[in-house]
Amino acid sequence: MALAGDAITHSVLPGIVAGFLLGGSLDSPWLLLGAALAGLACVLLIEFLHHTLALREDAATGIAFTTFFAVGVLGLRLFASKIDLDPDCVIFGSLETVVHGARLSFRSMQVPAAFVSGAGAVVVGVLAVMVFGRRWTIGAFDPLHARCLGFEDGRARAVLLGWTAMMVTSAFQSVGAILAVALLVQPGACGLLVARRVPGVLIVAGLHSVLSALCGFYLAWFAAINAASAMVLAGFAWLCIAWGYSLLRGGRGA
Amino acid sequence: MIEWLHTAAGTAMTAAFLLGISGGLTGVFVVSRRMALTGDMLSHAVLPGVVGGILWGPGRHPLVVLGCAVVAGLVAAGLLMALMRSTRLKSDAALGIVLSVFFALGLAMISKWKPGGVQAYLFGQAAAISSGDLILLACSSGVVVLGVIFGFRVLLVSSFDPQHARLLGIPVGWVDRCFFIALSVSVVVAMQAVGVVLVSALLVTPAIAAARMSRRLVSQAWWACGFGVAGALVGVWLSLLRPGLPTGPLMALSLAVLFVAAALFGPRDGLLQRGLGRMRQRRRIDTENLLKSAWVLMEERACSELAIDILAERVGVSRKGIRRCVASLVRECDAELVESGFSLTPSGRRRASEIVRRHRLWELYLMRRADYAADHVHDDAERAEHWISGEMEQGLAKMLNHPDVDPHGSIIPRGVEREEGR
Amino acid sequence: MKEVPVLEAHDLCASYRRRPVLHGVDVALPKGVLVGLLGPNGAGKSSFLKAVMGELKPDSGWVKLFGEPVSRARHRVAYVPQRESVDWDFPVTVADVAMMGTYGGLAWWRRAGAQERGRAMEALDRVGMASFARQPIGELSGGQQQRVFLARALAQDSELLLMDEPFAGVDAATEESIVDVLRELRSAGRTVLVVHHDLQTARRYFDLLMILNLRVVAFGATEEVLTSGNLDAAYGGRLTLLNEVASRSVVGGKM
């Protein structure tokens, strides 16, 4: 479903713009809601185009996310005066500055708001995996079988997509829309290359994200480059190591 | 004319025209070769090349940028192939990885060296297209268009069935590489006008709109060019209406609108046509059902005129509904309005008896040939009677040996004799 | 002088994704015969066709067509693919596909003209699909789809025809009509190699049979080959030792 993930990261933009218009600032919860709804709407549109108009999945994805993204950018420019969203920030992310941004006080500790939303997303994510993990696995492997078992494929899928949209939005502030794709795909790919079974994949994926975030941070500091890109590049380095390991072990996840 | 070309509007319009054609033409093959997401990957993957090209020498030389971008694209494609061949990662995951890594590299380079003029490639600024860019755009579009036209057959066969193409002696590997380079070039020149993300819109949307208009690749190519040019020009025109409006999104949205129009009104399965068609079917079936009931009722009561109320009571349809059906029967000359209600013309009577005949033949067919029980055949026949053609009716009668009575003992009306050997 | 065999393979070994699919295949096909290629699933039948067309590079051994290496002679081969491997969504009509068979001799700058169209329509007529010429291929039934690709091969007018499971999911009437066309080809001196799945009909259709299960279990005239001994050897599971050796030779450096 990497396609859907890629589409979502681009399609959340109009939702964020709308959320900003409603909420007034980058930290308002409307942003998250708008993004999630926009992401969901995009996926529904893709499904509609695929099933009713018999478009191929990649073509349907292409037209859907570009239309959503176009609406988003148009909104950004049209309401530029009202929205304090720098288009550069949308693309690059601003990990460096987000830490200095809005803060919440929490038991006499000053915590960056982004950290809170990020941590919240992690908690929700872990819970979601615990609840829906089995359904997602079976549904991913063999959707028909999942339906026979009574797992309502549709609802679980919707949750997965909604969660992806929310995760993308919370990542958005930190790393920008396009690099959120990397965050979605790299850890999972690394897990697939190294592990043989789904639990292993999830663990390796988690390890990969943490390692690439840490290494990326130091790389950015050392080489004076954008933090988000540094993390993606570090993540790719780890991925290459995993790739080499899988090749040595016999290739194609033998 | 030349002065107009040098204005911002003129440049933008010309660029839009050229992009529409090359994007539409390339896009038709991109979609049929299922490369829509490869196009998206390319637009992100060329960024390091673009930045490298800009940083190469003093000032921004369009050809250098293009060259570096194409090289970056080829490297990305190589990485993609390597990933897909040697691991079990699927194509979309591999695309996502290559796309984001190369883009990250590009962003890293931007954040470190901050080259000027990159904004135009990221977000698209048709107004920032210089005459140098325009010339490059014209040349590259020209080469792409000529290439597709002359290599159309070769491209078609390689895209449809590469194995067969190889048997014919076509060097499919080279065709793929050339197509990929052409795609990279189209992507890079389009990026300047619409930005990184929306390049896909220029490639994919005209092609899928064209697919709603025709079933053949050749005609689709023409339609795609038309849609591409129309959408691009409208987008540019809209962006000129107010200062500060971005061209890229407006082009993408115009193209999307064209797609919606094609989907609704297109001759190939247009949604509007489908909906209207279904309505027409529904109406025909209702009318035929009414005709049948009227005829049966008239036979029962041995009268030739029927009041609407009586029919309404018998059939359980509202008086308004019956009046509507009667009106369409009158239009088709199958009924006539009389004082006390309506009566059937000879042609109406014939049509009604045909329907009844088909209904009863079908019931017999189900019972004798498909082993249905006698009490199960009526509902099926109620549906089937509207879909049996004259030829099928003859075939049925012959198969069942020209029967006279149906399973329930009612007489099967005699059919109309048709000429043999049509 | 002995006639050059249309298709000849010697000690052909090939693998796909590190799994051996052909091991020590030795066979020679003459002109003017209908040959059936049988074997259990995964036996390497499609792989053999791919090796003959040059799509699958052998790990060792060789394949020759008309006495020449595959790369030089493959324009003399036509191929009817398995239905699953075709992209039925591709925007082409029945006539377009048949025309593709005529593109072989055409230089890339020349347009396909009346002569090519005539050949394509004639081929469609032979398989009974002429009236469907303007129909997009996605709207056809299984039997009709098969016939369109046969027409493409006929339009190519090649001396060797390879067909991969042409009768799978096809109605009986279509099957008969296809076999008739194949018999006509045989009378005209062409060689046809068909991957087939049904032992009963194999007896009726083919002059020669090749039973494949990683290696050639039997090859020869139909009546001689269809003995219970051969069938057991083919369908009763692979010989473990042979499989073991084949796997080792693939992994251990022959790639």
What secondary structure letter does DSSP report for C208?
A: E
Region C122-132: what's the mean pLDDT? 92
Residue predicted with more confidence, A231 or C230:
A231
Residue B404 lies in a domain: no
Residue B407 lies in a domain: no
3-state secondary structure of C11: strand
Same domain, B111 and B26: yes
Region B254-268: what's the mean pLDDT? 89
List A residues 8-37 in contact with B (Cβ-Cβ < 8 A): 10
Residue with token string 């929700």: A124
Q: Do C18 and A56 touch (CB under 8 A)?
A: no
Same domain, B152 and B197: yes
pLDDT at B274: 82
Nearest CA to B143 out of B79, B212, B66, B204 is that of: B66
Same domain, A126 and A206: no
Instruction: Find the CB nearest C100 among B151, B157, B216.
Output: B157
With contact defined as beta carbons under 8 Å apart, do B342 and B326 qualify? Answer: yes
Q: How far is CA A171 from CA A186, B135, B184, in A?
A: 14, 41, 30
Q: How far apart are CA B382 and CA B360, in angstroms?
A: 10
**To the nearest 5 percent, what fractions of chain A are helix, strand and coil?**
80, 5, 20
Last residue of a domain, one of B227, B250, B269: B269
The token duo for A20 is: 């900003």
Q: How far apart are CA B283 and CA B275, in angstroms?
A: 12
Residues of chain C contacting residue A250, judged by C-beta atoms under 8 Å apart: 18
Instruction: Find the CB nearest B163 among C53, C103, C108.
Output: C53
pLDDT at A254: 36
3-state secondary structure of C195: strand
Same domain, A158 and A221: no
Nearest CA to C179 out of C42, C36, C12, C31 is that of: C36
**Closest Cα in chain A, distance from residue B210 (Å):** 12
Nearest CA to C22 out of C235, C230, C253, C238 is that of: C238
Last residue of a domain, one of A175, A194, A226: A175
Q: Do B97 and A178 touch (CB under 8 A)?
A: no
Q: Please say whether the dihedral angle defined by the alpha carbons of residues C138, C142, C146 and C147, taken in this order, is positive or negative.
A: negative
Q: How many CB atoms neighbour CB B210 within 10 A?
A: 29
Q: Do C104 and B168 touch (CB under 8 A)?
A: yes
Same domain, B212 and B324: no
Report the CATH number at residue B192.
Answer: 1.10.3470.10
Last residue of a domain, one of B269, B304, B322: B269
Residue with token string 């239309």: A67
Q: Which chains neighbour B (Cβ–Cβ under 8 Å, 3 or more pairs)?
A: A, C
pLDDT at B422: 36
Same domain, A123 and A137: yes
Nearest CA to C10 out of C47, C63, C49, C56 is that of: C63
Q: How far apart are CA B180 and CA B141, in angstroms?
A: 14
- pLDDT tier at A171 (50, 70, 90 boundaries)? low
Q: Where do the domains of chain C lie, and which CATH numbers do they carry?
A: 7-254 (3.40.50.300)
Same domain, B253 and B283: no
Q: In degrees rounded to 5, what are phi and psi of residue C58?
A: -70, 145
End-to-end CA distance of chain C: 37
The token duo for C144 is: 């009709």
Per-residue pLDDT tens over the stretch A205-252: 888 888 888 888 888 888 888 777 888 888 899 999 988 888 887 655
Same domain, B359 and B293: no
Region C122-138: what's the mean pLDDT? 91
Q: How far apart are CA B28 and CA B202, in angstroms?
A: 11
Q: How many CB atoms neighbour CB C196 within 10 A?
A: 23
- pLDDT tier at A82 (50, 70, 90 boundaries)? low
Residues of chain C contacting residue B213, judged by C-beta atoms under 8 Å apart: none
b/e code B57-82 from CB counts within 10 Å (16+ = b): eeebebebbbbbbbbbbbbbbebbee
Q: How far is CA B410 from CA A211, B159, B359, B404, in A?
A: 83, 60, 11, 8
Q: How far apart are CA B103 and CA B390, in angstroms?
A: 65
Indicate the residue type of C214.
L
The token duo for B290 is: 């009414």
Q: How far apart are CA B40 and CA B197, in angstroms?
A: 7
Same domain, A61 and A128: yes
Same domain, B238 and B96: yes
Same domain, A83 and A166: yes
Q: Do A70 and B86 touch (CB under 8 A)?
A: no
The token duo for B238 is: 């809209």
Same domain, B191 and B53: yes
Q: Is the pLDDT of residue B280 over 60?
A: yes
Same domain, A78 and A52: yes
Q: Let me know the angle formed at the C-alpha of A150 by A145 and A155, rounded to the nearest 5 degrees.
A: 100
Indicate the residue type of B18.
L
Q: Chain C contact for A248, CB < 8 A?
A: no
Q: Which chains neighbour A (Cβ–Cβ under 8 Å, 3 or more pairs)?
A: B, C
Residue predicted with more confidence, A100 or B62:
B62
In A, minimum Cα distance to C87 occurs at: A56
- Please tell me the total count of domains within chain B: 3
Chain centroid to Cα B8, Å, comes to 35
Q: Do A6 and B86 touch (CB under 8 A)?
A: no
- pLDDT tier at B419 (50, 70, 90 boundaries)? very low
pLDDT at B333: 81
Q: Chain B contact for A249, CB < 8 A?
A: no
Residue B410 lies in a domain: no
3-state secondary structure of C210: strand
Same domain, B72 and B134: yes
- pLDDT tier at C253 (50, 70, 90 boundaries)? very low
Q: Chain B contact for C75, CB < 8 A?
A: yes
Domain of A185 in residue numbering reads as 177-254
Q: How many CB atoms neighbour CB A22 within 10 A?
A: 13
Mean model confidence pLDDT for chain B:
85
Residues of chain B contacting residue C90, judged by C-beta atoms under 8 Å apart: 32, 159-160, 217
Same domain, A127 and A204: no
**Closest Cα in chain B, distance from residue C26 (Å):** 23
Same domain, B22 and B38: yes
Last residue of a domain, one of A144, A175, A206: A175
- pLDDT tier at C228 (50, 70, 90 boundaries)? low
Q: How far apart are CA C90 and CA B204, in angstroms?
A: 15
- pLDDT tier at A99 (50, 70, 90 boundaries)? very low
Q: Chain B contact for A56, CB < 8 A?
A: yes
Q: How far apart are CA A59 and CA A45, in angstroms?
A: 12
Last residue of a domain, one of B301, B328, B344: B344
pLDDT at B283: 87
In A, minimum Cα distance to C19 occurs at: A254
Same domain, B100 and B24: yes
Residue B371 lies in a domain: yes
What secondary structure letter does DSSP report for C253?
A: I
- pLDDT tier at A100 (50, 70, 90 boundaries)? very low
List C residues 130-159 in contact with B (Cβ-Cβ < 8 A): 136, 152, 156
Report the CATH number at residue B374.
Answer: 1.10.60.10
DSSP secondary structure, C42-96, as one string: TSSHHHHHHHHHTSS--SEEEEEETTEEHHHHGGGEEEE--GGGS-TTSS-BHHH
Q: How many CB atoms neighbour CB B276 within 10 A?
A: 11
Same domain, A40 and A157: yes
Region B101-122: what's the mean pLDDT? 83
- pLDDT tier at B312 (50, 70, 90 boundaries)? confident
Residue B294 lies in a domain: yes
Same domain, B388 and B280: no
DSSP secondary structure, C25-38, as one string: EEEEE-SS-EEEEE
3-state secondary structure of C192: strand
Nearest CA to B197 out of B72, B34, B44, B16 is that of: B44
Residues of chain A contacting residue B198, judged by C-beta atoms under 8 Å apart: 66, 69-70
The token duo for B58 is: 């003093």
Q: In degrees rounded to 5, what are phi and psi of residue C213?
A: -145, 80
Q: Do A70 and B108 touch (CB under 8 A)?
A: no
Residue B210 lies in a domain: yes
Domain of B9 in residue numbering reads as 2-269
Q: Please say whether the dihedral angle defined by the alpha carbons of residues B66, B68, B73 and B74, taken in this order, is positive or negative.
A: positive
Q: Lowest-pLDDT range, A104-113, A174-183, B348-357, C132-141?
A: A104-113
Q: How far apart are CA C110 and CA B153, in angstroms?
A: 10
Report the CATH number at residue A102.
Answer: 1.10.3470.10
Return the residue in C15, C18, C87, C139 with the most chain A beta carbons within 10 A, the one to mutate for interface testing. Answer: C18
The token duo for B303 is: 């009268």
Residues of chain B contacting residue C156, judged by C-beta atoms under 8 Å apart: 168
Q: How many CB atoms neighbour CB A240 within 10 A?
A: 13
Nearest CA to B301 out of B359, B333, B343 is that of: B343
Q: In degrees rounded to 5, what are phi and psi of residue A211?
A: -60, -45
Report the CATH number at residue B306.
Answer: 1.10.10.10
Mean model confidence pLDDT for chain A:
72
Residue B420 lies in a domain: no
- Please tell me the total count of domains within chain A: 2
Q: Is the pLDDT of residue B12 over 50?
A: yes
Per-residue pLDDT tens over the stretch B181-192: 999 988 988 888
With contact defined as beta carbons under 8 Å apart, do A232 and A9 qualify? Answer: no
Same domain, A39 and A165: yes
Instruction: Find the CB nearest A56 among C17, C18, C89.
Output: C89
Q: How far apart are CA B418 and CA A172, in angstroms?
A: 73
Instruction: Find the CB nearest A62 among B36, B123, B195.
Output: B36
Per-residue pLDDT tens over the stretch C77-110: 999 998 888 888 898 999 999 999 888 877 767 7
Q: How far apart are CA B183 and CA B42, in angstroms?
A: 8
Q: How far apart are CA B276 and CA B164, in angstroms?
A: 42
- pLDDT tier at A108 (50, 70, 90 boundaries)? low
Indicate the residue type of A211.
L
Same domain, B32 and B80: yes
Instruction: Find the CB nearest B108 among A54, A193, A229.
Output: A229
Q: Do A53 and B271 touch (CB under 8 A)?
A: yes
Region A43-51: what's the mean pLDDT? 85
Per-residue pLDDT tens over the stretch B168-217: 888 999 999 999 999 998 898 888 888 888 888 999 999 999 999 988 99
Region B339-344: what's the mean pLDDT? 81
Q: How many CB atoms neighbour CB B267 within 10 A?
A: 11
Q: How far is CA B7 from CA A209, B129, B141, B226, in A?
A: 50, 11, 21, 24
**To the nearest 5 percent, what fractions of chain B are helix, strand and coil?**
75, 5, 20
Last residue of a domain, one of A160, A175, A190: A175
Residue B412 lies in a domain: no
Q: Do B104 and A243 touch (CB under 8 A)?
A: no
With contact defined as beta carbons under 8 Å apart, do C146 and C114 qualify? Answer: no
Angle between helices B247-265 and B8-32 (to 10 degrees): 50
Same domain, A122 and A227: no
Q: Is the pLDDT of residue A97 over 70?
A: no
Q: Is the pLDDT of residue B411 over 90?
A: no
Q: Under 8 Å CB-to-CB from A17, ≥6 apart: which residues?
A: A34, A72, A75, A76, A79, A83, A85
Q: Do B271 and A185 touch (CB under 8 A)?
A: no
Same domain, A13 and A93: yes
Nearest CA to B400 out of B350, B363, B373, B355 is that of: B363
